[in-house]
Amino acid sequence: MNPQILDRFSNIRLPEWDDLPDLDLYMDQVISLLQRYLGQFPSPDEKGITSSMINNYVKQGVIPPPKKKRYNRIHLAYLIMVYILKTALSISQIRLLLVEELSSQDLSAFYTSFRDSFRSAAADSVSRYRDAGSDALSLSSTAAIRAYVEQSISYACWTSDRME
């Protein structure tokens, strides 16, 4: 296993709430910032985030609409969370999750909790794979299996909450 891969993941950080700019941004500025914040994450689709994705998220009610075609800290926080969550949840699930979670707390607290959970999960995974010390194929299959199990747990929790 290439230790540089694990080093890269152990250093992944999402921006803190106060580090997100609190001013009006145009779409190209939003995309540029998101690429800087999220470019460190490998993406299976290799597209990153695009203006058409952002527009679709607004149309689907996943993120609030911009004001006079300008976005701010709130939009950036939503977009960072959506980018990460969309690998495991559908867009409709993300929309409902964010609506439900944000009905009981403010966005800055939720984003901070999300960021801390992300950091903890990354550190836990890196530690687990460092300790395993296996070859890349073994680690790759273990990671894929773990991703399947975690996604299945997420889905089971999601559907059981909907049925209650």
Q: Are 32 and 39 in contact (CB under 8 A)?
A: no
pLDDT tens-digit readout, 11-26? 778 999 999 998 999 9
* 48-64 pLDDT per residue, tens: 789 999 999 999 999 99
If you compute the radius of gyration of the chain from its CA atoms, what whole number of angstroms results?
Answer: 17
The pLDDT value recorded for residue 11 is 76
| Residue-number span of the structural domain to which 15 is assigned | 3-163
> Given CA atoms 153, 155, 161, 164 in this order, what sign does their dihedral have?
negative
pLDDT at 133: 64
- pTM score: 0.83
Q: How many residues does the chain have?
A: 164
| Residue found by looking up tokens 């990671």 in the block | 143
pLDDT of residue 18: 96
Token pair 């001013």 in the structure block, residue: 23
* Number of separate domains in the chain: 1
